[in-house]
Copies of this chain bind each other. A is one copy, B any other.
Amino acid sequence: MINRDFLIRAINLAKENVNSGKGGPFGAVIVKDGEIIAEGTNTVTSALDPTAHAEINAIRNACKVLNDFDLSGCEIYTSCEPCPMCLSAVYWARIDKIYYAADQYDAAFGGFDDSFIYKEISLDRDKRSIASEQFLKEMGREPFNMWINKQDKIEY
């Protein structure tokens, strides 16, 4: 169920982040059982970490709070539609639902590449602006074979 206050909190975090100079204009909160359990803002330029987007930071913080890598039962409220990195992180974290205010086109207006990266990911590999090259495919399967045969593995 949408809680307007949670999204306003995410937007306010984004604004505070611009004022503090810690990073880009993005904020996010993770909600479980009707309460905010973790927050995050974009800290790319202050943490010197290009993966430190608001949603990624919020997810990392929520996992610390819950002591779990699985956020099933949680929702994320974010000031802007997640970029493909953060959307994928939402999938890996098994978050139930995403609420967002601005979207990727607003982000583009702000000078961010979210929309561009969405387009790139949907392209065939050989059409993307960052080239990919596959080799040693057979050798690359060996870790998966080891994984499949491992008895005491922790799956995720």
A residues near B, CB below 8 A? 2, 4, 7-8, 11, 14-15, 17-19, 21, 24-27, 44-45, 47-51, 53, 56, 59-60, 63-64, 67-71, 79-81, 83-103, 106-107, 109-111, 113, 117-118, 120-122, 130-137, 139-144, 146-148, 150, 152-156
Contact assessment for A143 and B11 in the assembled complex, using a CB-CB cutoff below 8 Å: yes
Contacts of A139 in B (CB 8 A): 8, 11, 101
Contacts of A100 in B (CB 8 A): 132-134, 140
Given A18-B147, A88-B83, A134-B101, the answer on whether A45 and B140 have CB atoms closer than 8 Å is no
CB distance from A28 to the nearest CB of B (A): 12
Contact assessment for A92 and B50 in the assembled complex, using a CB-CB cutoff below 8 Å: yes
Contact assessment for B137 and A102 in the assembled complex, using a CB-CB cutoff below 8 Å: yes
Contact assessment for B50 and A70 in the assembled complex, using a CB-CB cutoff below 8 Å: yes
Contact assessment for B84 and A147 in the assembled complex, using a CB-CB cutoff below 8 Å: no
Contact assessment for B103 and A137 in the assembled complex, using a CB-CB cutoff below 8 Å: yes
Contact assessment for A135 and B101 in the assembled complex, using a CB-CB cutoff below 8 Å: yes
Contacts of A134 in B (CB 8 A): 81, 99-101, 103
Contact assessment for A142 and B15 in the assembled complex, using a CB-CB cutoff below 8 Å: yes
